[in-house]
């Protein structure tokens, strides 16, 4: 379950770094169109997040949205970057300044739940390289906090395991601190 108070506070702070940015949630039509394009069930936490924030540009990258006017910020458009993502049930939710992606896994291949994986596009555009969060809440807190601090997602930081202890129950990929 998402902590909307915490996330709204982080969104406000992260959005202040980009002049003129207006943060808004997706409407029911945008959400319906998005859900209908997915080949796997969309996690409820993602729907709830998109209702709060339907795309956001941060200094450390972008958080994608549903049926956004800007194609580069749209999840459906980003899924076309690699044809296997939608077919595999991987929903891209963010990128970084280097062209890498973060995605929600929806089919349980790394364990029960909806973990977030990282795609290092210098290694592979279509296969995830690391497990980075046990769920959307933990990912968003780390991502937005990194954007506010201007140091990005905390790759290689073993203290992630302390802040997100459920991450270690997933398997099949190295953890982001490995």
Confidence of residue 53 (pLDDT cuts 50, 70, 90): very high
Which CATH number is associated with domain 4-169? 3.40.1580.10
Q: What is the pLDDT of residue 115?
A: 98
- The pLDDT of residue 120: 94
Banded pLDDT at 137 (limits 50, 70, 90): very high
pLDDT at position 1: 78
What average pLDDT does the chain have? 92
162 confidence band (pLDDT: 50, 70, 90): very high
Angle at 77 between CA 146 and CA 39, to 5 degrees: 100
Taking a C-beta distance cutoff of 8 angstroms, is the pair 86, 41 a contact? no
Of 61, 79, 48, 75, the residue nearest 142 (C-alpha): 61
For residue 97, is pLDDT > 90?
no
Single pTM value for the model? 0.94
Residues 6+ away with beta carbon under 8 Å from 44? none
- Calculate the alpha carbon distances from 91 to 11, 18, 132, 167 in Å: 20, 25, 14, 18
Q: Return d(Cα 73, Cα 153) in angstroms, integer.
A: 19
User: Sorting pLDDT into bands at 50, 70 and 90, what band is 106?
Assistant: very high
Give residue 139's pLDDT: 97
């Amino acid at each position: 379950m998402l902590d909307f108070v915490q996330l709204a506070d982080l969104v406000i702070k992260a959005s202040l770094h980009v002049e003129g940015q207006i943060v808004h949630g997706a409407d029911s039509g945008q959400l319906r169109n998005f859900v209908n394009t997915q080949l796997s069930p969309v996690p409820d936490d993602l729907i709830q997040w998109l209702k709060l924030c339907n795309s956001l540009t941060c200094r450390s990258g972008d958080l994608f949205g549903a049926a956004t006017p800007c194609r580069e910020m749209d999840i459906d458009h980003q899924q076309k970057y690699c044809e296997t993502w939608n077919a595999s049930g991987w929903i891209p939710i963010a990128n970084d300044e280097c062209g890498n992606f973060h995605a929600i896994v929806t089919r349980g291949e790394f364990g029960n739940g909806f973990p977030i994986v990282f795609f290092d596009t210098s290694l592979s555009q279509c296969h995830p390289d690391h497990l980075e969060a046990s769920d959307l809440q933990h990912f968003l807190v780390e991502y937005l906090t990194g954007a506010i601090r201007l140091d990005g997602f905390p790759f290689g930081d073993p203290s992630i395991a302390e802040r997100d202890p459920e991450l270690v129950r997933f398997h099949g990929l190295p953890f982001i601190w490995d």
